Each structure stands twice: as C-alpha cells, then as structure tokens.
Structure 1
Amino acid sequence: MDIMGIDEITYGADDFETCKKFFADWGLESVSESADKLVFSTLNGCLVNVVKQDARDYPAPIEPGPTLREVVWGVSDEDVLKRLAQQLSDQSGYQNTGDRLSCVDPSGMLLGFQVSRKKEISIDCGQMNTWNEKPRRNARSPIYERAHPIEVGHVVFFVSDLQQMEDFYVNKLGFAPSDRYPGRGVFLRCDEDGGHHDLFLLQTPDKKVGLNHVAFAVRDIHEVFGGGLHVDRCGWKTQLGPGRHPISSAYFWYFQNPAGGLIEYYADEDQLDKDWVPREFEPSPTRFAEWAVDGGLDGNTRRQKNVGGPDGKFLTDRK
C-alpha cells in the first residue's frame, strides 16, 4: 500500500466562531486555536484545519466562499514519498520540504503528501446479527448519544474535465477506479485493497468546479444515527439523511457545513481488492440513495421532521 488515505484537510472560512462550534458538535477534538487557524483531530489523528479565506500559504480557492483549500494524503513510508517526488516534480505548484510534497491538481486543489501521521486504533463497534451469523449474544447493539469520527474517509469534488482528473489520479498517483457514471463521475480508491472510494469526482453539465462534501467515517450504522441526531439537536441543518448508498453500500447522513460544502457521517462501505471489476451506472436518484429521509430526523422526537413530539404513549395507543 503506497497512498493510505487522507491524513489532513484544510478549509478556508472566515467565521471561526461558527466553525469552532460546528466541529465540536460534529465530534472532533480541538487541538489548537489561534487568530489565524483552528486545528481539530479525529480519533485516529487525522487533522481538520480551518484558516482564513485570504490565507497566503494556499493557491486561489477553487470556488468563491468557504471551501476546502488542501487535501493531504498519507503514504506508507519514505520510499513512497521519494517516488512521488519524482512523479510529481513537473506538476503545477510543486514543492518539496523534505517531509511533505505538494502540488496542485488539474482542478486547482492543493494536494500534500507525507508519511502518514495517523495512529492505529482499536475501538468497540456494533456487531450485526444476520440469518447466517449471530456474533452478538446476550448483548444489545450500541446506542450513541453523539458521534466521534474515526477519520476523514473521502472527499468529493465537482470538476470541469473528468477525464483529465481521472488520468491524473490514476496515472500519476496510482488510484484505482471502483465504479463509474460514464462521462459524469468516477469513484476512486487510493489503493486496490481498501474501501469503496477515497475520492469521488463529479462532472455536472455546467462543468462547475468546487467542493461537494467531505465524509467522516464512524464505527457503525448506530453511530451514523446517534451522531446525526446529536448534530440536529445542536441546531445544524440536514441536507439529506439518514439513508443508504446502493453503490458503496454505506449508510449516510449529510449536513450543511459552515466551513464549506456538505459534510457526511458514513459507515459500512464495501471493501474491495484487486479482483474487483468497476461497474457502470446511469445517474438517477435511486442510484445515489436506495432510501433516505428528506430533511432528516428530529433529534428530539427521533422521528421525521415536523411530526408530533413525545406524548408518553405507544404508537399503538394512538387512534
């Protein structure tokens, strides 16, 4: 395994107070805070930074307003970093500080590469009893009052030239295609053996460029629900969810993010390897979501939005 996943991301957003509250409610740990930068961490040490929109250490943003400014990918060792240095030396914005490489991808996003600084962790997760296998005995599935994301699992961008972007990530960086919407989108994983996608590139008819969303992996479906209910109780707005993606099998819940784009909790995505053959799909709402709750669940009633609150009765008691 060469590129192991996302090590760090940086948003550009001016409203630090709102971003600080949001990422705390999202379940990230505050690492440091200054007038110029907020730093948060997931459970495994993946960093989430927020800098001002006019920060000088970054290329021009890919779109107006708050958005993602950098994605740093973690690699397995120094030899991989040296090989990437040779492969990327001709790329726009190339720099090599010794412990980190950087360049700009064809859509203008700043990319970094470093020996991964994320830590290996072991955490308890909910076990699923199926008809064939019943590993959970004399125990309930977990209930989470909020989420604590494990890592940044994937990013999704709108791009103006899908083929150019796929060529860059596959031929320059060694990403593997997982599935496609021909001419419209491609799911890429950074290693043949891994989760369904670390990067999704989407070309819209108007060929706009920008951030769609950043996704945070959580333990299991129960934490998707518990996290989403907590974020709703905190007053943040659901974009869509909870729901399930049929292409990756993952359960999801999307919220609007004051730092830019959308933000997602997800769990239980497909795991692929070298034997996987990419599939092709026609875009449609049911391809995106097998099922989904429009507007989300109310964090207090734990039911769909705009329904009655708790009244001390079973549903069967109501006429």
Structure 2
Amino acid sequence: MAVLGIDEVNYRAADLAACKRFFLDWGLRLERESDQQLEFRSLNDCVVRVSHPDLPGLPAGLEEGPTLVEVVWGVESAGDLDQYAAQLRNLPGFRREAERLRCQDPCGLSIALQVSRKRPLQLDCARFNSWSERPRVDQRAPVYERAQPIEVGHVVLFVDQREAMVRFYCDRLGFALSDQYPQRGSFLRCAPRGGHHDLFLLQLPSGKKGLNHVAFAVRDIHEVIGGGLAMDRLGWKTELGPGRHPISSAYFWYFENPAGGLVEYYSDEDELTEAWQPRDFEPGPERFAEWAVTGGLDGHTRRPKHAETPRQGFLTDKTGETDR
C-alpha cells in the first residue's frame, strides 16, 4: 500500500480567462470548460482544475484569494483505498465517495485519494554525454520551442503545524522524509522509493498558511529552458530561473501564476530508495539554488534580462574584427 503521486490539483481563482491563457501557454491541454470551471490535463492525464470562487462545494483552501484548495493523490488499487479508509476515517472532513476518499490534513487543506488515473508514458528524452559515458552519438541534443508538462510532480505549502503535518503524511499515508531544514521545512516523498519529494512543508516565523508553488515535471533541462523562454516570450513573469537546486539536484524555472502562488518547470531530481538517509540543511540562498538567473532569460534574445543584445556575427569574434 503506497501513494503513487499527485493525480490532480484544484485551484480557486476568479479570473478564469487569465488562468486559461496561462495554463495553455504553460503547455497543458484544455479538456473541459464552463462558465465556472476549467479542466486541463498534462501528457500523462494528470488533472489541473481551476474553479471560480462561486462554484458550490469548493473547498476553502488555506488562504484568501487565488490559491490551491485541494490535492488528489493516486493509489494503485481499490484495496489500497479500503486500507487508507481505516487510517483516515476519524479525521476532520472524512467521507467516502464512489471513487474517492476525502479528508482534511492537520492544516485544513482538503486532500483526496483515488485509484490513479494517470497514463504510463514512454517518452523520448535527451541523452547526456559526460566524461565517462557517451550515450549520445551522431545526434544533437533537443531544442524545445515550448514545454509540454508530463505531470504535477510536487506541491509546496506554507504551514503552521509542520511537525503535525509530517506525522500525518508519514504515519497515515506512508510518506517518507527525504531531507529537512530543522524546525523550518520538510521534504517528503510518497513512498520509500521515488523522486526526491512530492510534498514540501515550509513553516515561516509568521505562521502563514497557503500555497508556495506547484511543480510540473518535464523531460529534461532542455525543456525547462525551452518552456521558460516560451513563457517569457508570451509575457508571463519569471519569479526565478533558470537555476538548479542543490538539495534535490533538480533544474528549475519559476513563474507567477494567476491561479495562485508560483508554478515551476523542473527536471532531473534525485531518485531515492529505502537506503537514503535524510540530511539536515540550514536554510539559505545557497541551499535553495546553487545557481539561478534573477528575473529569468529574455525569450527573444535568450540572454539575461537587461543584458546587452548579442551583436551580429560570431560571438567568438573580437570587438572590431571584420570577416576576412
């Protein structure tokens, strides 16, 4: 019995028109649309739903305004749902529906469990040549004009009860601790074997609760860059990136999201097993990003923001040199 990953995220936002433009530009496909709700899907059918605040029955979320209001986690079988029901039945908001279990976590966020509806995928991804291994032969690495996210890979929340949240997700749902900022933040993965984190819980001194970001997995760093450049060309605002997280090893690019918080393209996170020993890190800029581009890259010149536009000719030419 184990949670497999995120099957669905549900946002609340009043400006559905802006959210529609954003998530289409982000690379999701629009599956359904009504006056009060948008439903998008990733390549493997992970669902991103955006609902107007007036939609009846919408969960409250952790904060006012546009935000994430529910996370739906996928499991392998109906038998898993039966076992999880026994773990969750005494919790606030618990109810069993035809195909889902629902409850609230200790911070009050609505969560649900269902038999996973995501599709398995085999995708062509870049091969990387290192000094010791040279798998890419007679072949150039890909260049992406835009991204097509594969799935929602993780969610990051501001919480006011980090320790209670860690106990809930580990003891009730079987998550495992990957790494942590002592007294401040905990990186959790759904099961002992898996990517570095599916959920990051961050407790601020202010006690703020809410959404930090939702992260979308893409094929490789080339798609992180190509997707970010496309979003910049389309006028969406970079928060930070591209860059690299030293804790998870992942490459990233963050954008502001009209549906709430930030969204992230990421790739190449660490893969962990039962043998992994969680590490403690002191929070700081160098822990968040080994390197990162403040403001992002310009999608037209493909240079850092406000950098001088490259001149014509070969970049290796010396200033003033002319072709001979």
TM-score range, shorter chain: over 0.9
Number of the residue aligned with 1:235 = 235
Partner amino acid, structure 1, of 2:3: I
The 2-side partners of 1:140 and 1:308 are apart by 28
Larger mean CA deviation between 51-60 and 168-177 belongs to 51-60
The 2-side partners of 1:61 and 1:196 are apart by 25
Equivalent residue of 2:316, what SS? helix
Equivalent residue of 1:129, what SS? coil
The 2-side partners of 1:237 and 1:92 are apart by 38
The 2-side partners of 1:201 and 1:172 are apart by 16
The one-character-per-residue Cα deviations of 1:231-263 (angstroms, maximum 9, x if unpaired) are: 000000000000000000000000000000000
Tell me, which stretches of 5 or more residues in structure 2 are unaligned?
Answer: 320-324
The one-character-per-residue Cα deviations of 1:66-102 (angstroms, maximum 9, x if unpaired) are: 0001100000111111001111001111110131011
Number of the residue aligned with 2:217 = 217
The one-character-per-residue Cα deviations of 1:101-120 (angstroms, maximum 9, x if unpaired) are: 11011111110100000000
Equivalent residue of 1:313, what SS? coil
Number of the residue aligned with 1:6 = 6
The 2-side partners of 1:80 and 1:18 are apart by 38
Instruction: Determine if the alignment matches structure 1 residue 134 to structure 2 residue 134.
Output: yes
The 1-side partners of 2:207 and 2:266 are apart by 27
Partner amino acid, structure 1, of 2:185: G
Instruction: Determine if the alignment matches structure 1 residue 17 to structure 2 residue 22.
Output: no
User: How far is 1:313 from its partner?
Assistant: 2.4
User: How far is 1:161 from its partner?
Assistant: 1.2
Number of the residue aligned with 1:281 = 281
Partner amino acid, structure 1, of 2:151: E
Partner amino acid, structure 2, of 1:77: S
Number of the residue aligned with 2:39 = 39
The 1-side partners of 2:205 and 2:302 are apart by 37
Number of the residue aligned with 1:182 = 182
Number of the residue aligned with 1:155 = 155
The one-character-per-residue Cα deviations of 1:199-240 (angstroms, maximum 9, x if unpaired) are: 000001111000000000000000000000000000000000
User: How far is 1:170 from its partner?
Assistant: 0.7
Tell me, which stretches of 5 or more residues in structure 1 are unaligned?
Answer: none
The one-character-per-residue Cα deviations of 1:35-63 (angstroms, maximum 9, x if unpaired) are: 11100000000000000123332332211
The 2-side partners of 1:194 and 1:6 are apart by 13
Answer yes or no: is the 8 Å Cα contact 2:12–2:53 preserved in 1: yes
Partner amino acid, structure 1, of 2:22: F
Partner amino acid, structure 1, of 2:283: P
Task: Say how many residue pairs are matched.
Answer: 319
The one-character-per-residue Cα deviations of 1:133-163 (angstroms, maximum 9, x if unpaired) are: 1110000000000000000000000000111
User: How far is 1:310 from its partner?
Assistant: 4.5
Number of the residue aligned with 2:303 = 303
The 1-side partners of 2:104 and 2:86 are apart by 15
Instruction: Determine if the alignment matches structure 1 residue 195 to structure 2 residue 211.
Output: no
Give the direction of change, closer, same or farther, for the CA distance of 1:277–1:313 in structure 2 (3 Å limit). same
Percent of counterpart pairs with the same letter? 59
Equivalent residue of 1:316, what SS? coil
User: How far is 1:314 from its partner?
Assistant: 2.5
Answer yes or no: is the 8 Å Cα contact 2:36–2:54 preserved in 1: no
Answer yes or no: is the 8 Å Cα contact 1:58–1:110 preserved in 2: no
The 1-side partners of 2:61 and 2:97 are apart by 22
User: How far is 1:186 from its partner?
Assistant: 0.3
Number of the residue aligned with 2:291 = 291
Equivalent residue of 2:17, what SS? helix
Q: Aligned-pair RMSD on alpha carbons?
A: 1.0
User: How far is 1:64 from its partner?
Assistant: 1.2
Partner amino acid, structure 1, of 2:299: G
Equivalent residue of 2:254, what SS? strand
Equivalent residue of 1:187, what SS? strand
The 2-side partners of 1:292 and 1:310 are apart by 21
Number of the residue aligned with 2:69 = 69
Number of the residue aligned with 1:105 = 105
Partner amino acid, structure 2, of 1:229: L
Answer yes or no: is the 8 Å Cα contact 1:239–1:256 preserved in 2: yes
The 2-side partners of 1:188 and 1:17 are apart by 34
Q: TM-score, normalised by structure 1?
A: 0.98
User: How far is 1:316 from its partner?
Assistant: 3.1
Number of the residue aligned with 1:53 = 53
User: How far is 1:311 from its partner?
Assistant: 3.5
The 1-side partners of 2:110 and 2:166 are apart by 16
Equivalent residue of 1:223, what SS? helix
Equivalent residue of 1:315, what SS? coil
Equivalent residue of 2:6, what SS? strand
The 2-side partners of 1:217 and 1:73 are apart by 16
The 2-side partners of 1:26 and 1:203 are apart by 29
